[in-house]
Amino acid sequence: MEILHSKPVEDGFSMPAEFSPHSGCILIWPHRRDSWQNGAYAARTAFAELISIISRSEKVTVCARFEDYDEARRLLPAGVRVVEMSSDDSWARDVAPTFVTNGKKLRGIDWGFNAWGGLYDGLYFPWDKDNKMARKLCDLFMADCYDLRDFILEGGSIHTDGEGTLLTTEECLLGKGRNPQLSRQQIEQKLCSCLGVSKVIWLKRGIYNDETNGHIDNICAFTAPGEVVLAWTDDKDDPQYEISKECLDILESSCDARGRRIRVHKLPLPRPVHITEEECQGLDNMDGEPTRTPGERLAASYVNFYISNENVIVPFFGDENDKKAAEILGSLFPGREVAGISARDILIGGGNIHCITQQIPAVE
């Protein structure tokens, strides 16, 4: 595996859309006791269910710490590969490589990772094991690796349509915790030269109370070139309303890289989800402090789905909108079957299905 210091675009590489074919998917077995309640046991059940659905149509690799390997191996289907790898937490979307291809070869991008904001407003310290995962995974997959460690970026903060357009949020990419030394224009330039896009659509903010500083993958996602789903509420008293309306206005007045007007499909949100006292008691303290407060609103959204080769796997929250969200996504992905996963135990960790997966694009 070679470490590359050029930029993917100058080598003819770009990032395909998630709805393009995959050769596999990477996840990390959850273990962090201040992220996942009850020693991560409940989350492990949800991860195992998700992994088993993805593995119907993709080769899944799960990274597990030395001390968790036996349990992961026991709980996961035989066709899933479990490899020992150290990690600080379990967000493959953000710490695994962003894969780029030239159609024939696969390469990975190793962005800098600082736990969603470093010493400014990051969520844990240290994060050095997570920051080394992208490079180790490139090695595992024999994919040459672009060294972009001087640029802080998480996979959950970008979505591409594979045809030159990228979606992101100002709240995240222009925040003080990532790359405060770079201007918006310089950040846009970096995205274009690394991912093969020529048009960046900047939404202002992500889901209300999202601790990632508003990752795009929780509020808006491409379902096809020129088409997106947007997390939506009609409740004007919900602080989310103003955020989603602002996104809608931007999207409806935007064209993509190929000049198409963006078509927006509203995906209803579940009723607000709040963490309970009992759930908080199941979380260990971090540096002596609780990581969540009883009653805190969690960043629940159906937009945080994963598109596998044969399924669209959607978080369910035990809400009346679970069915509606599944129906909408089913109509937008006619060739794939929608599968719902009871995702509360993943959500308590601060993200959802999309955040714990990283697709590996298929190449010839």
Question: Of 20-28, 41-49, 244-252, 350-358, which segment contacts ligand KQY by CB under 6 A?
Answer: 350-358
Catalytic residue among 25, 138, 145, 355: 355
Q: How far is it, in rounded angstroms, from Cα 325 to Cα 358? A: 22
Site membership for ligand KQY, residue 275 (CB under 6 A): no
Q: How far is the CB of 121 from ligand KQY (least distance, A)?
A: 12
Known catalytic residue: 355? Answer: yes
Instruction: Select 201 or 355, whichever has its Cβ closest to ligand KQY.
Output: 355
Site membership for ligand KQY, residue 93 (CB under 6 A): yes
Q: How far is the CB of 125 from ligand KQY (least distance, A)?
A: 12
Torsion of CA 314, 320, 324, 325, to 10 degrees: -30
Q: How far is the CB of 179 from ligand KQY (least distance, A)?
A: 17
The CA–CA distances, whole Å, from 291 to 45, 127, 176 equal 22, 16, 22
Instruction: Supply 313's token pair.
Output: 């796997």
Q: How far is it, in rounded angstroms, from Cα 92 to Cα 347? A: 15
SS3 268: strand
Tell me, residue by residue from 284 to 323, as one string, x for binding to ligand KQY by CB under 6 A and - for no binding: ----------------------------------------
Residues 198-257 that bind ligand KQY (CB under 6 A): 211-212, 215
CB 13 within 8 A of CB 363: no
Q: How far is it, in rounded angstroms, from Cα 50 to Cα 45? A: 9
Q: How far is the CB of 34 from ligand KQY (least distance, A)?
A: 8
Tell me, residue by residue from 142 to 161, as one string, x for binding to ligand KQY by CB under 6 A and - for no binding: --------------x-----
Which parts of 144-295 fold into alpha helices (H)?
170-173, 184-195, 239-252, 277-281
Q: How far is it, in rounded angstroms, from Cα 318 to Cα 227? A: 27
Question: Of 20-28, 90-98, 195-203, 313-321, which segment contacts ligand KQY by CB under 6 A?
Answer: 90-98
Number of residues located near ligand KQY, criterion CB under 6 A: 13
Q: How far is it, in rounded angstroms, from Cα 256 to Cα 164? A: 8
Site membership for ligand KQY, residue 340 (CB under 6 A): no
Q: How far is it, in rounded angstroms, from Cα 296 to Cα 131? A: 29
Q: How far is the CB of 356 from ligand KQY (least distance, A)?
A: 8
Residues 19-38 that bind ligand KQY (CB under 6 A): 35
CB 130 within 8 A of CB 89: yes
Site membership for ligand KQY, residue 94 (CB under 6 A): yes
Q: List the catalytic residues.
A: 355
| List of residues contacting ligand KQY (CB under 6 A) | 35, 91, 93-94, 123, 156, 211-212, 215, 349-351, 355
